[in-house]
Structure 1
Amino acid sequence: MPTDVLVVGAGPAALAIAAELAERGLAVAVLAATDPRDPWSNTYGIWGDEVDALGLGHLLEHSWSDTCSYFGSGSSDPADPANSPTRHGRDYGLFDKTRLQQFWLERCEAAGVQWIRGLAEELSHGSGRSQVRYAPALAADVALIEARLVVDASGHKAVFVQRPELGPVAGQAAYGVVGRFTAPPVQPGQFVLMDYRADHLSEAERQEPPTFLYAMDLGQGRFFVEETSLALAPPVPYATLKQRLERRLAHRGVAIEQVEHEEFCLFPMNLPLPDLDQPVLAFGGAAAMVHPASGYLVGALLRRAPVLAAAVAQALRANPAAASAELAQAGWQALWPPELRRKHALYQFGLEKLMRFSEPQLRAHFSTFFSLPKEQWYGFLVNTASVPELIVAMLRLFATAPWNVKAGLMGMQGRELALGMGLILTR
């Protein structure tokens, strides 16, 4: 079957871009070692305003209006002001994983996407086209598929995408449990974005990399609780996160009664942008689209897949004989225009600083961050603010932050200088 675009991968990014490309009349094939219909294991959250703007509220399994965080040091006394929550005043939602997957699968199948089971092994380019050799799932020999363009959507450990080596990659790790508990781990009907209270840890442990609780009431006596950390290199081990979660719960008189699902998450937060001149395109984690400051991805997939697909389709219509390199270049320019590259550098600049913050600095930083006007912190977290708007928000944060945060922000160590120059020199 003649193929315009071959998408490599089977996760959210692969299905999102395959659906958009096929709906624009392109012949699309998806090559994956696993079945794209296999259930997804991870949970995907999104802010209510973001999903409403996309018109996809029907894909949510849960939503919360009572959204908050805890940035105090915490204590055993419920009356301690350190136990007072920071109210966010914005709705938050959790996708129904099955419904989200079906949303993309049904669009792919309706638009004629071809499914190919196999392990991608080698990419070459000849006569203006791309050839991928792969090991079919049900055959011993290798096979070959040719396409006008290859889009690697195989995740942050991309099969074909090349990117520069710029030092250690920091990962955000998390260990979570969906289940039932002897007592509610959060208030009924509540979503907790970050709980940095650490009164369950010794003074020595509080000198170690900080972790926080991300938790939500799923209704009918079920809760999701997850211990996580900001990006670190190396990341916090799962065993440490699990132990801290259990101790955090026990300190508040809560024990896990029934485990329905365990979640292990590890994803890079500061991947360098790919080489934007290579003749293969990328999407999702393979394209470094994970938000370096917040870790969010699904909202970006939903917003940016139509833009990328439109650019590739337009390039094909404009020049039906276009080579893979030309089509990839049109895609890269649409996916990572100068504005988004500047924002990526700005977010990574900030992340470099936060990775060195102590627990008191992080608590003070986030307390200050969420005291900014809602539009400022929201635009920062979901990557919808412009570069000037981000800079205004960062300057306001610096002006209102306590001195220990100011000191951490002013220090220039690690890769901040190179990232700052990248922000200035991006064209």
Structure 2
Amino acid sequence: MASRTHLTDALVIGGGPSGLGLAAELAACGLSVRLVAPHPPRPFPATYGAWLDEVPAPVRPCLADVWTDVRAYTGEDPTPLLRPYAMFDNARLLDTLLTRAGPRLTWTVGMVQHAEQVGEGWEVTGAGGERWRARLVVDAGGHGGGVTRPVRPHGAALQTAFGLVARFDRPPGPPGGMVWMDYRAGHLPPDEVRAAPTFLYTMHLGGDRYLVEETSLIARPGLTRALLERRLHARLAAQGTPPREIETTEWVAFPMNTAAPAPGPVLAFGSAAGLVHPISGFQMVGALADAPGVACAVAGALDMHSPTQAVRAGWDALWPPERRAAREISLLDAEALLALPGDMLPAFFRAFFALPAAEWHAFLSPRTGAGAIARTMLKVFAHAPNRVRVPLARAALGQAEVSGRALRAAAGVG
């Protein structure tokens, strides 16, 4: 039997930016932290983009690119979004978070298999028989969770994307800019668009290099890698911009509809805690913004109370009542999008981006209250064409209980 290690204040499961971000903040609050991940520290493999105004100040030096020409296509003409968009340098982000953590963080390579409460603390078992002891456990183990089990109402609804970084003889997107969403699909049969809508996402990386991704916003079941790869190359060929030299490829698949977790003995964080935005799919910058407050609440309660109370304090900081209500409404919105035929999504987003900028900005923000989210969706419904309203109304009626809560939240009740 493997020997037990010394007791740490917190054990964090997961080495992604959310888990490391919270581990760093816990360490900065004076706690000893063990982070357990299947790999040693390495630059995060995914591409992380974010609205510039939502990037926390401490990690702004980690940005690789910022675009001011940001546009969406919900028809033939572009809609300027007039909101700068950024992409992270993942190696720089990793170094920044590790520096923030300092010597109070121990990074342990392993895989957590089991966690058991023992007295006022925890004994955590690794897949290789390792034993780690900690006063409290944080599950930042990604979409599947480490020791918690995220709940997805009606089954997982996935965002999937296939992308590549390549060199192009002709630019596949605006030089010097980025396209947040391009739903133009004249190269596809209408029935394919209706059944499985996808859009193009592009970033100019300088010179003749671009990142291009074919994305399914949300689907149940999710679209396959093979389909999205085929769609991407068909789109690029149709617009006369096939890649000349492919440098890397990327496959993205994650659930969009994880419910807010109930309080429990383990503190869930990041995507394991249902922090993926059900409409945009954003999560990482929101988690980095949440981390200092959650860590402060945990450390303060751990200093004064039991580990159980410290976990509850962290959960309360992450999930105040208004945010839990907002999550329910956002899940309703996700179900409405799932019910919308694919050829109607461009009209939906045309109405969405026609809103005052402050309103659609707030709708996509991770901390917007329940009432504001519900009112925004009602405005989109009011301004959308009738052919879009009908399936949205049917979806709302199919979720009558949640719809009632959404309307009460919009009115400031409950």
Q: How does 1:66-215 map to 2 (within 5 A)?
A: 66-72=69-75, 83-108=76-101, 110-136=102-128, 142-164=129-151, 166-215=153-202
Cα offset, 1:384, TM superposition: 3.7
Q: Does the Cα contact within 8 Å between 2:36 and 2:112 map onto a contact in 1?
A: yes
Q: Does the Cα contact within 8 Å between 2:32 and 2:104 map onto a contact in 1?
A: yes
Size of the aligned set, in residue pairs, is 405
Q: How does 1:359-370 map to 2 (within 5 A)?
A: 359-370=342-353
Cα offset, 1:417, TM superposition: 2.6
Measure, in 1, the Cα distance between the counterparts of 2:32 and 2:348. Answer: 49
Q: What does residue 280 of structure 1 align with?
A: 266
Q: What does residue 3 of structure 2 align with?
A: none
Residue 72 of structure 2 aligns with an amino acid whose one-letter code is S
Q: Secondary structure at the match of 2:8?
A: coil
Cα offset, 1:105, TM superposition: 1.5
Residue 14 of structure 1 aligns with an amino acid whose one-letter code is G
Measure, in 2, the Cα distance between the counterparts of 1:401 and 1:192. Answer: 23
Residue 172 of structure 1 aligns with an amino acid whose one-letter code is Q
Measure, in 2, the Cα distance between the counterparts of 1:396 and 1:356. Answer: 18
Between the two proteins, what is the percent identity of the paired residues? 39
Q: Secondary structure at the match of 2:219?
A: coil
Q: Secondary structure at the match of 2:147?
A: coil
Q: Does the Cα contact within 8 Å between 1:230 and 1:355 map onto a contact in 2?
A: no
* TM-score when normalising by structure 2: 0.93
Q: Does the Cα contact within 8 Å between 1:161 and 1:282 map onto a contact in 2?
A: yes
Q: What does residue 11 of structure 1 align with?
A: 16
Q: Does the Cα contact within 8 Å between 1:345 and 1:420 map onto a contact in 2?
A: no
Q: Secondary structure at the match of 2:110?
A: strand
Q: What does residue 54 of structure 1 align with?
A: 57
Q: Secondary structure at the match of 1:308?
A: helix
Q: Secondary structure at the match of 1:122?
A: strand
Q: What does residue 46 of structure 2 align with?
A: 42
Residue 252 of structure 2 aligns with an amino acid whose one-letter code is C
Q: Deviations over 1:47-104 (max 9, x none)?
A: 12112x63543211111111101111xxxxxxxxxx2101101111111111111111
Compare 416-425 and 352-361 and name the one that shifted more. Answer: 416-425
* TM-score when normalising by structure 1: 0.91
Measure, in 2, the Cα distance between the counterparts of 1:117 and 1:6. Answer: 13
Q: Deviations over 1:127-184 (max 9, x none)?
A: 1211101135xxxxx1211111000111011121134463211010000001112310
Q: Secondary structure at the match of 1:214?
A: strand
Q: Does the Cα contact within 8 Å between 1:19 and 1:111 map onto a contact in 2?
A: no
Q: What does residue 341 of structure 1 align with?
A: 324
Measure, in 2, the Cα distance between the counterparts of 1:419 and 1:325. Answer: 31
Q: Deviations over 1:330-368 (max 9, x none)?
A: 221111111111111111111101112123321100001
Unaligned segments of structure 1, at least 5 residues = 73-82, 137-141
Q: What does residue 213 of structure 2 align with?
A: 226
Q: Does the Cα contact within 8 Å between 2:7 and 2:132 map onto a contact in 1?
A: no
Q: Deviations over 1:286-319 (max 9, x none)?
A: 1111111110012211210011101101111222
Cα offset, 1:38, TM superposition: 2.1
Q: Secondary structure at the match of 1:49?
A: helix
2:304 to 318, 323, 333: 318
Q: What does residue 80 of structure 1 align with?
A: none
Measure, in 1, the Cα distance between the counterparts of 2:115 and 2:174. Answer: 52
Measure, in 1, the Cα distance between the counterparts of 2:308 and 2:401. Answer: 29
Q: Secondary structure at the match of 2:297?
A: helix
Q: Does the Cα contact within 8 Å between 1:163 and 1:275 map onto a contact in 2?
A: no
Residue 238 of structure 2 aligns with an amino acid whose one-letter code is H
Cα offset, 1:392, TM superposition: 2.7
Cα offset, 1:44, TM superposition: 0.3
Cα offset, 1:207, TM superposition: 2.9
Residue 45 of structure 1 aligns with an amino acid whose one-letter code is G
Q: Does 1:295 align with 2:276?
A: no
RMSD after superposition: 1.8
Cα offset, 1:421, TM superposition: 5.1
Measure, in 1, the Cα distance between the counterparts of 2:223 and 2:316. Answer: 35
Q: Does 1:256 align with 2:240?
A: no
Measure, in 2, the Cα distance between the counterparts of 1:165 and 1:86. Answer: 33
Cα offset, 1:111, TM superposition: 4.2
Compare 330-339 and 149-158 and name the one that shifted more. Answer: 330-339
Measure, in 2, the Cα distance between the counterparts of 1:167 and 1:399. Answer: 27
Q: 1:133 to 1:243 in 2, by over 3 A?
A: same
